[in-house]
Amino acid sequence: MAILLRMPEVAANATHATLQAWTRQEGDKIAVGDCIAEIETDKAIVELNADTAGTLGRMLVRAGQEVEVGAPIGVLLVNGETHADIDALLAASGGIAVPESQPLAQEPAVPVAPLASEPATAPARIFASPLARRLAAQRGLDLATLAGSGPNGRIVRRDVEAARAEALTATPAATPIATPAPAAARPAPVRNAGTDDFIEIPHSNMRRTIARRLAESKSTIPHFYLSVDCRMDRLLALRAEINAGAARKISVNDFVVRAVAVALREVPEANVAWTDTAMRQFRSADIAVAVSTDTGLITPIVRAADSKPLSVISAEIAELAARARAGQLRPDEYQGGSFSVSNLGMHGVAEFSAIINPPEAAILAVGVTQPMPVVRDGQVEVAQVMRCTLSVDHRAIDGALAAKWLAAFRRLLENPLAMLV
């Protein structure tokens, strides 16, 4: 019998999600495990895979439409049913079928009547991330001409950027690289009641979620802040020695994540989260690392960073960050951390305070490493100094405990060999 495909709860406690794109057309044969559609969560794009083999009979939701979790989005036919069977199923379930005269995808849907017969041949699917599709459209590139370097040959952002760079290299010097869009093609500004004009950019699911969570964090969590200056001379010297012969270059942030994890192992009372009924103390240091993407901030997690060598942490951060920017993270890869790190040092920021990412109880804000005058043995000298600020949930961690953890973290940065053994 026909089966209703429903919007899954792709993220914990999500009430709505957006159907980003259909990856199959009406009339396509579907095997178990085949990707039917791509669903946009608040943090990433995930695939909706078929649990049952059959034929995609009807799409009930258009690409780009936000849908309540559990609502019908399509119909899968498993025994050669017809359109009449689809209508009967929707009527019985209270669903509303989209008129077939209104195509749901960018391309015309493949005819499916009669469904019991062999369907028309559908064009070969192009496997590409949503970000790669958007960038290709913006740059006028045909995805069919690109070779994918992502998992299973999937076209990702770097493939589009490489193709664009190659196209620009092949462009004659006399030909302009890009022609400005005519004024009529640009978003029309909405006139303000005052003297300025502006345009309104619709919120993405990620931006709405970030706004909600940050507002909840600041309004419900009693934040307090501790700052410390860390001398980085030894760490920078050790990093230069490691990178001189390493295939993968280690960053200062890699050292920071490792030091955070080891400090949590040394001070396990700080590796906690507040709940209404009990304090939750974590057995391992799962460090969430803030990564900036085109659609907002996401925090992929390095699991058990206290038990991993620096080289593994470095490789994991690089791989997770790349997939985060391509929208390819699974929910379990950015949910469930025990502590967060936000580093703006690479942007030249000297000091800042970060907002706690609930239900975690602390987040470390990392500034730039820069030469500063310091006093040692009564003498003024210049040292490489990095300022870090710890934001703490006072319900879960008291001031003395936060200071104890921060002292352990500082000691590990200033004596970096201690965190590598």
Which residues are catalytic, by number?
Answer: 394
Q: Are 119 and 110 in contact (CB under 8 A)?
A: yes
Q: Are 358 and 221 in contact (CB under 8 A)?
A: yes
Q: Are 55 and 30 in contact (CB under 8 A)?
A: yes
Residue 26 vs residues 65, 129, 131, 372, 402: alpha-carbon distances, Å? 18, 21, 24, 65, 57
| Dist CA 39 CA 19 (whole Å) | 5
* Residues paired with 230 in a beta bridge: 386
CA 307 centroid distance within chain: 24
Q: Is the peptide bond before 359 cis (omega within 30 degrees of 0)?
A: yes
Angle at 115 between CA 110 and CA 118, to 5 degrees: 75
How buried is residue 331: exposed, middle or buried, by Cβ count under 10 Å (0-12/13-18/19+)? middle
Q: Are 262 and 317 in contact (CB under 8 A)?
A: no
